[in-house]
Each structure stands twice: as structure tokens, then as C-alpha cells.
Structure 1
Amino acid sequence: MDRLLAPLLSPLLIAQALRLRARALRLPEPPGPRAGETGEGPTLRLLILGDSSAAGVGASHQDNALSGQLISALSPHRRLTWRLEAKTGATSRSALAALSTLPHDPFDVVLLVLGVNDVTSFAPLNRILPDRVRIAQEIAARFNTPQLIVTGIPPLSQFPLLPNPLRWILVQRAARLEPLLREQANAAGHSYLPFSMPMDPDLMAEDGFHPSARAYAHWAKALAPHLLDDPLTAPAPS
């Protein structure tokens, strides 16, 4: 239905998108470390790749962002060597290009946090899906075939910043993309973790588009068991 309505609504959608771009509060990527070593226990080498939510936009410091919250959750159980490679606005296409600039370091787990900008940029599915295949291939070749964990798309329907009908169109696009990404990941033997946390208003940053520090804490708590690869504590991804 959205594929039929989008052309009819395109003047309004373009106007809404331009208005959002002009008026939206632009939060910076927070300061703080993007690599380090910490913790006790068996070694875990972790790489976090992704977009603004991976970069922690909405938090005041990396310690309160996704990476910092994950390190806090994992370090009591693992000796961590970790790195964050994330950029506001990253899409699957731009993340693929950025991968080619990274050194060939070995990692045990790569957490891939992408999807929102693929939806909001209206990138075609027949470009996103091949890009994701190439991202997985590049990760395997560059980082010594680590476990790849792919996160799902957050619930755009709950983002206060987005007005209708733009919100509705984006939600429909995400609903088409999400099962395809899950099927692709599962077929390749990767883990796909849907974004199951409801983005209540008190879990959103002040820009109405990114998670707050509190949301990052909840998200990290949900992701941590999967990064520990502990079948006794990690719920199976749906």
C-alpha cells in the first residue's frame, strides 16, 4: 500500500522531510573512548559497527551510550578488547565503504547496528540486501570470521519527531525490510536480534529520534547475553 501511496504523497513527504531537516535538533556524537581493554575472564574481542545509535547519539558520554553500557555489562564476565566504529547517518552502503578502510584485526564478535537510515533514505531493497551480503563477507574476510550479530530496526512508529504521513510510510518500509534482513541473516548463520524494547517517551532523547542514556542501558542489558554466547542466559532471537 505504501508503494502505491508514496508517489501520490511525494510532494507532502518531501515538504515534511525538508521541514524536519531544517528544524530538527541535531545532537552530537558523545565524547569518550571508542576503543579499550578492560574486564576479567575469558578473552572477548568485540567490534561495534553502525550508525548514530551505535555511536551513542542521545547520551552525554560514551560511558552512558550503547558501547559504554555494553562494556559495563560484559567486563565482569570477559576480558574485553573492544572498538567502536560508528557514524551518524550511516547506511548499509556507507558502512560497506567504511569497512574497506579498517585494519585487518581479529575479532570474536561483531555487532552490526544499522537499518534506520536505510529506511529514512528510501534506499531500494534491491540495493540494501546485496550491500548487507557484502558487509558480512567483508567482515568475515577482514576480521577473521567473527560471529556476526545483526540488530533489528527500532520502532519508527514510536519516534515523536516523525510526523504523519511520513511516519506511516517509513514504518511500512521498515516492515518490509525487517523480515528480509532477518531471513538473510538466519540463512547465512548469523544472529538476528529484533529491537524489542518499546521506545516510550521517557526512553527517547530530546531530539525525539534517538535513544536516551536510559534506553541504551536497557538495550545493552538485552544484548549482553548474546555477546557472551551463553546458551543458559541468552534467549533465542525471534
Structure 2
Amino acid sequence: MLLKLSTIALIPALIIQGYQVKKNTPRLPEAEGNRKGNIGQGKALSILILGDSAAAGVGVEHQQDALLGSLIHELKQNFSIYYQLEAKTGDTTLQILERTKLLEHQQFDVVITSAGVNDVTKLISPKSWIKQQKRFYAEIETRFSPLMILATGVPTMNLFPALPNPLGWLFGQYSSEMNNQLARFVDSKPNYQFIQFDLAHFKVLNLEMAKDGFHPSKEIYQLWAGEIAKKIRGHF
């Protein structure tokens, strides 16, 4: 209720600041490079990444510096990897779900997700969002039968350099509550693990975001991938 009231109260400021952010924030392209292939040596491992612009590698020029490439770099010495990336800038959870439904049924050992930022910018309530997320993960389970699902949390958007207050503060409230809901859901699932996208920790390490102030940099992608790789090694 408090979040809803805060949103209503801040509507005039949100309209003005939202327009300014959209006008002043540079539009960065998705990372170029292969999104499907085979690489590495060792135990066979299939990986599918589903998500939004962060999953697509916006913020760096090539997939080798994005989440996909950084993760492959971490794992290729120990695993023979088949990888596939399905991600698009601007996609909400529902749009990612619809695109997932277009993929063929096949088994993946690991599915990694990144969704939520575009739901926050559209002010989807955390209660509605977690219902959409549950539908998304149900589709993942049915379509891919993964042995492990790694759900990346929503970045703490109040720490996005591109977002002024009160817009950044409100988005931070949304992303925080969404993460609480997602973490509780993940805890109820035996083959799921939650990956925290901890911008506060990145700031402590003096890591900056991409030049648009909205997407990960190469160094942040590497840390994100490193955390995921650690979970995968522990499981397999």
C-alpha cells in the first residue's frame, strides 16, 4: 500500500524526470557476437540465458565481454559447453515469457534469467510481477527440464547513476520488494538459486556501470558471471 501511495504522490515528478532520463540517456546497442555455439573441454554442460538488455550484453561491444562470454570464459576449461542466449533490450517479464514460448522444447542443464528492470520502469506492482515470474519459471521447467535454474535479482535501481531522485528512490523501492518476492520464491524451489545483482558491492569495489549509467560494464559482467560460475561448479 505504501509503495502504491508513494507512486501516486510522485506521478508529476516521475513524468518530468522520466522524460528527461529518456531524452538524456544514450541508447547503447546489444553486444555483437555469437549467441549460440559449442566451446570448451570436459564434462558436457548446456546453458541457456533468457532475459533483457543486461542478458543481451548492452554496455559492452562484444559478447565476449558480456555475461555470456564472461561465463564461458569461467567454465570452458572444465566443461564442454553448448550455450544459447535469448535476450532482447526492453523486454519485460511477460515479453520474455512470450519469446520463451517460441523456443523449441529441449533439455538444458542450466537456465539463467535476467528480468525485472523494464517491469520496474513500467511500475508493475511487485505482487503482479511475482505472479508473472512464476508463470515464466513454470514455462522454463516445462520446456527445458533444467537441472539448475539461476534467477538473477533486479538491480538496486536507486543506485543507477542515470536516475535522479525521487525517480531513482521509487525505482529502488520497487526493485527491493521484487527481490524480496523473488528470493522467497527461489527458496521454495530445490533446484533454484538466487543471484543477487549487488550494485552497492560493486560500488565498494570502485566499479562503474556502462557509460549510459543504466547497464553493466565489462567488469560488472565479469563479477556477475563469476558468481554464476561458482554456483554451477558447486552443483556439477
Q: Does TM-score exceed 0.5, indicating one fold?
A: yes
Shift of 1:143: 0.9
Identity %: 37
Distance 1:130 1:5, change over 3 A: closer
Query: TM-score, normalised on structure 1?
Result: 0.92
Aligned length: 231
Paired amino acid for 1:132? Q
Distance (whole Å) between structure 1 residues aligned to residue 154 and residue 47 of structure 2: 21
Moved more, 221-230 or 158-167: 221-230
Shift of 1:104: 1.0
Output aligned runs, 1:85-234, within 5 Å: 85-189=86-190, 190-197=192-199, 198-200=201-203, 202-230=207-235
Shift of 1:195: 1.8
CA RMSD of aligned residues (A): 1.6
Distance (whole Å) between structure 2 residues aligned to residue 140 and residue 8 of structure 1: 40
Q: Give the corresponding residue for 1:24.
A: 25
Shift of 1:196: 3.0
Q: Does 1:75 align with 2:76?
A: yes
- Secondary structure (helix, strand or coil) at the match of 1:5 reads helix
Unaligned residue ranges in structure 1 (runs of 5+): 232-238
Paired amino acid for 2:228? L
Paired amino acid for 2:170? I
Paired amino acid for 1:56? G
Unaligned residue ranges in structure 2 (runs of 5+): none
Shift of 1:211: 0.8
Shift >4 Å, 4+ stretches: none
Moved more, 111-120 or 191-200: 191-200
Distance (whole Å) between structure 1 residues aligned to residue 117 and residue 148 of structure 2: 22
Q: Does the Cα contact within 8 Å between 1:50 and 1:87 map onto a contact in 2?
A: yes
Shift of 1:199: 3.8
Distance (whole Å) between structure 1 residues aligned to residue 207 and residue 141 of structure 2: 38
Q: Does the Cα contact within 8 Å between 2:126 and 2:174 map onto a contact in 1?
A: no
- Secondary structure (helix, strand or coil) at the match of 1:183 reads helix
